[in-house]
Structure 1
């Protein structure tokens, strides 16, 4: 048992999303948006006894808003770095309309619905300078799975400090069907959603993963 208050953290994350304007982007009133997210509370509280407090680079859970509710192009600019205000940007190397074709791997079997919870999320800085394909094999061997684009955005939205100098991360749970792996890094004082090759290591790029998901 820890002294981490999962209910208070749940409320904080909902308030953060509301404050950033997620309800309007989803075409919902604040009341309707809160009503959509509220059922996730039971999934969170059901695991609270095993949760550890947030630490640098690792958090107990994240409320994930999928692109079916809020488009990625709207969610990225709502991210910032810790103590900064410059909005996140999308790498120009994504061709027009291409980002939407980076979809979650079928083997992740994501929860159905427009919002869900990702548990035990780690930015994977131990995998800095490790080939992404090798990092994925390692986390799969631990019974974990790679983060999707939406989960990575949720991570930085709720915990801006998760994205730090030389501690950025790949999002191997969303793929296009080629050798590119989406990633979040820092560019000109703001988060940037880009991609790197699955066979190329980078000293500043880890591999983010989750321990589970629920809705």
Structure 2
């Protein structure tokens, strides 16, 4: 397993309050994608921000309610629209690993998100057990998109991240070797030059290492106290 990589990435500011995050979701129309009302978003954010859930967390919509294909185009960077790579038409079939429990609710809050810069140049196969040993769980692709929607600075050139909590299962039950990630397009290949600097949802092989990709993770997924 590789040694931790020294990083020089900028320190990210604190996430906005959950109520502010809720307003962002509403402004982007994500409540409509998810079949929720603006009042439901605001009510959950208020309850979660009142101390019932994790302070300083990230407000996210359940992936069954707001799939990656609908969220990725809402990303923006340098006035460029986000997109899913063309060779990932099955992006919405990537579901949480069996080891990940997502609350059975339209919304939840992620605690203590980390981009995993120190794990750059690790492969997903190496990173997954290491995160578990640290008491952390990898982000889902939709959770990673929510993070960048709320905090665009989380996606930085040479400091992007994988979301290996989402995987595709083949008909025989084995995991597809692709692992989702979020990074910034160079406008090459099938991305097209017009998409240079646009945020993108793509994939990497589970056994490959990339010096510019960390591993997004969280300490857990939470609901407000009843």
TM over 0.5, shorter chain? yes
Verify the 8 A CA contact 1:37 1:115 in the aligned structure 2.
no
Which of 182, 189, 200 in structure 1 is aligned with 2:180?
182
Question: TM-score, with normalisation over the residues of structure 1?
Answer: 0.83
Worse overlay, 169-178 or 64-73: 64-73
CA distance in 1, matches of 2:165, 2:76: 22
Name 1:54's counterpart in structure 2. none
Unaligned 5+ runs, structure 2: 1-12, 169-174, 186-195
Which of 100, 117, 121 in structure 2 is aligned with 1:125?
117
For residue 196 of structure 1, report the CA deviation from its aligned partner: 0.3
Aligned residues: 195
CA distance in 2, matches of 1:38, 1:150: 22
CA distance in 2, matches of 1:37, 1:9: 9
Where in structure 2 are the equivalents of 1:82-97 lying within 5 Å?
84-95=78-89
Where in structure 2 are the equivalents of 1:12-27 lying within 5 Å?
12-27=20-35
SS in 1 for 2:57: strand
Please say if 1:134 is aligned against 2:126: yes
For residue 129 of structure 1, report the CA deviation from its aligned partner: 1.2
For residue 15 of structure 1, report the CA deviation from its aligned partner: 1.3
For residue 203 of structure 1, report the CA deviation from its aligned partner: 1.1
Unaligned 5+ runs, structure 1: 49-59
Where in structure 2 are the equivalents of 1:48-87 lying within 5 Å?
48=55, 60-81=56-77, 84-87=78-81
SS in 1 for 2:99: helix
Verify the 8 A CA contact 1:20 1:78 in the aligned structure 2.
yes
Verify the 8 A CA contact 1:77 1:88 in the aligned structure 2.
yes
Name 1:195's counterpart in structure 2. 203
SS in 2 for 1:122: coil
SS in 1 for 2:176: coil
1:63-97 per-residue CA deviation (whole Å, 9 max, x = no partner) reads 0112322232221111123xx221110011113xx
Verify the 8 A CA contact 2:48 2:54 in the aligned structure 1.
no
CA distance in 2, matches of 1:155, 1:5: 12
Question: TM-score, with normalisation over the residues of structure 2?
Answer: 0.79
Call closer, same or farther: CA 1:194–1:63 in 2, change over 3 Å: same
CA RMSD of aligned residues (A): 2.1
